Chain A
Amino acid sequence: MSELLLFKDIDEPGLNTLSVYEARGGYSSLRKALEMTPEQVLQQLEASGLRGRGGAGFQMGKKVSFLPQGSMSKYLVCNADESEPGTFKDRELMQKCPHMLIEGIAIAAYAAGADRSFVYIRGEYVLQADVLDAALAEARQAGYIGDRVLDTEHSLSLVIHRGAGAYICGEETGLLDSLEGKRGNPRLKPPFPANQGLYKGPTLINNVETLSTVPTIIAMGGEQYAKLGTETSTGTKLVSVSGHVQRPGNYEIELGIPSREIIYGLAGGPPEGHEIKCWFPGGSSSPVLLPDDLDVPYDFDSMAKAGSMLGSGAVIVVDDFTPIVDLALKVAKFYRHESCGKCTPCREGTNWTVKMLERIDSGEATPMDLDIMASVQDHIIGNCLCVLGDAMAMPIGSMIAKFRGEFEQHIEQARAREEAALVGAASGGGAH
């Protein structure tokens, strides 16, 4: 990685304050953008090819262009609910360089014609929300946010909204309901948020990392940015590496580098004496990949071709000491807990998957259960309002497919253990 864009001097003391950020050239992109027309800013975003960094990987410029024209109130919502297991990149950005996000929001709102913006930050991120609040106060004082931004015709309000702990609020329509003060249940789509989102108005929703990249794109030019990365996955990406690696943490990479480079090169690979059993390339919702897949380039399309997804860029490494059944149970229990309960396939499917995995551990399962479990996953995928159920079904399905032998062995061993215990209890009881 030759050049850092988002992480450049990220640990510089005081970078979270306006004075240091401005001294480093901060907010010059906003000034530059305000001298352009909103259409020209949008053109830059489209030319950059920037794809959403939250999970779906949808082109950001295109998303902005979906907002209807006209003088109605439009909203911009920054999704800072970062709760995908394994993901912690937005936390680092908000805590250490909050003004980059605020500048990105201001530019994107200008391009989209939005005059009200919100940051929905998960309630657990207390420190980061405090940092953002302080940065927002400074930005307001300096005229970057508020009525007539930098004495132009453009006005923008910004509210930092703290959530209260719910994974589903990272789903964009669940987030909107939560921001409206309701339970965070996802909505039926269409209508898509671009047409009918927050308070039924046109709404642009983007992830923290996506919006934080916007000032860089305006500074260097969309076409220049598009030269980084691969043709369809442009630019740099923050990856959060965790699990069984020696140096867990956030790294900025150019999209398209071999995954091995991330796991072994940057994060140091698993501890000595351990091998990789499987790894999640994009958070716990992504189907697991095997050590054989380590040479797959880390970009959106290569990951999709390999049968998984880049998701939020959270690489979770699992070593060969971990039983796959334990891992599957952990994943399934999480989605059971977080299912909002609105759609039956997800509410019941996550619950039954947990129960069936627990049966394996208690020695009551038969190999046929694996087929039933796999079919439960098939019945969830594509049948709910949002993809929370799919997010369990895909990794669990991939684990059953790729580690079937180990599942069967686990079933047999647990059965043998339970039988031996029963026989032992029976003969022990007979002696008295």
Chain B
Amino acid sequence: MSAVPRLPGGTRASGWDEPADLNKDPALIPDPATTEVPAELRKTIEEAMARYPERHSAAIPALHAAQELHGWCSPEAIEQVACVMRVTPAYLDSVASFYDMLEKQPVGRHSIYVCTNISCSLRGADALLAAVQEQAGEDPDFNVRAFECLGACDIAPMASVDGVYVGPLKDEDVPQLLDDARAGRPVLPEKQLATRLVADPNANSKEFPRHAPEEGKP
């Protein structure tokens, strides 16, 4: 059966580009007796379910945890989550296919999201993405992808490297960025968002008061 080409460009309507196997029986809730789930993962998922009034709410945290363990939301990972959560794999598949951060294909273990939305692209994000893609090359360790607005337009153009925001990035920064990520070092420490002060000159240009409430103030 050939794939049905519909809505290219990453629509969320899942299944449009994959034909269904009509000869396959629907997957049921996995049997705990025959499904092996790593103890650590089971514990994480059970704790997540306990946090909410309704266990389904734990779907995203549980899939996150399984993805961390397996590298992506593989059929095996989904099976394990389904077993602990007592839901069908199809239900979890519907969730996993909706969200950009849940991977439905095997990917490199270091994720590099380059923001290519408006503010970043106005400041050269498309060239930056091309540079990262070129220099990361075919390295299977990297999962380089263009991402929609990551909410850090003040450091545009920027990227999120394994969850750490860095910017503003120049093409020259790319080799070190990749080296740091590969070696598991803090990525471009002087360019990390965590250390950046608020741009507001009224808020950050003065001496901070001592840690005591001023008199007369509530």
Query: Which residues of A are in contact with B by a Cβ distance under 8 Å?
Result: 1, 4, 7-13, 19-20, 23-25, 28, 32, 73, 82-88, 90-92, 95-96, 116, 122-127, 159, 161-167, 178-184, 199, 219, 240-244, 247-252, 266-267, 280, 284, 314, 316, 318-319, 322, 327, 330-331, 333-334, 336-341, 347, 351, 354
Contacts and interface: CB of A to CB of B under 8 A. Distances in A.
Given A123-B101, A248-B199, A250-B154, A327 B118 contact: yes
A330 B102 CA distance: 24
Contacts of B9: 333, 336-337, 351, 354
Interface stretch (B134-142, B159-167, B179-187): B159-167
B105 interface: no
Interface string B114-128: 000111011100000
A58 to B, nearest CB: 22
Interface in B49-64: 51-61, 63-64
A219 B54 contact: no
A333 to B, nearest CB: 7
Contacts, number: 222
Contact of B60 (A86, A88, A181): A181
Given A11-B203, A11-B204, A164-B63, A82 B151 contact: yes
Nearest to B206: A9
Contact of A338 (B53, B148, B202): B148
Given A11-B197, A164-B63, A314-B153, 16 more contacts: A85-B117, A92-B198, A124-B160, A159-B52, A162-B64, A164-B101, A165-B100, A166-B12, A166-B99, A248-B153, A249-B199, A251-B199, A266-B199, A266-B201, A267-B199, A347-B11
13 contacts: A86-B118, A88-B152, A124-B163, A127-B165, A127-B194, A164-B100, A165-B101, A166-B98, A243-B156, A247-B199, A249-B199, A250-B154, A322-B122
Interface centre among B95, B100, B212 (most CB of A within 10 A): B100
Nearest to A19: B211
Nearest to A7: B203
Nearest to A167: B148
Contacts of A341: 7, 11-13
Contacts of A327: 118
B64 A164 contact: yes
The 3 tightest CB contacts between A and B, nearest first, are A249-B199, A242-B153, A165-B100
A4 B213 CA distance: 17
Contacts of B10: 337
A318 B122 CA distance: 7
A162 B102 CA distance: 12
Contacts of B209: 9
Nearest to B212: A23
B61 A162 contact: yes
Interface in B171-218: 193-194, 197-204, 208-209, 211-213, 217-218
B218 A219 contact: yes
Contact of A163 (B13, B99, B165): B99
Contact of B118 (A162, A167, A334, A354): A334
Given A85-B117, A183-B94, A240-B154, A164 B200 contact: no
B56 A252 contact: no
B130 interface: no
Contact of A181 (B7, B54, B119, B203): B54
A330 B122 CA distance: 10
B203 A83 contact: no
B149 interface: yes
A124 B101 CA distance: 8
A83 B149 contact: yes
B153 A12 contact: no
B117 to A, nearest CB: 5
Contacts of A181: 54-60, 95
Contacts of B102: 164-165
A334 B32 CA distance: 42
Nearest to B165: A127
B143 to A, nearest CB: 13
A166 B200 contact: no
Contacts of A240: 153-154
B131 to A, nearest CB: 19
B202 A4 contact: yes
Nearest to A240: B153
B202 A7 contact: yes
Nearest to A92: B198
B203 A180 contact: no
Contacts of B199: 241, 247-251, 266-267
A330 B99 CA distance: 21
B218 A28 contact: yes
Contacts of B29: none
Contacts of B203: 4, 7-11, 252
A181 B81 CA distance: 13
Nearest to A166: B99
Contacts of A251: 199-200
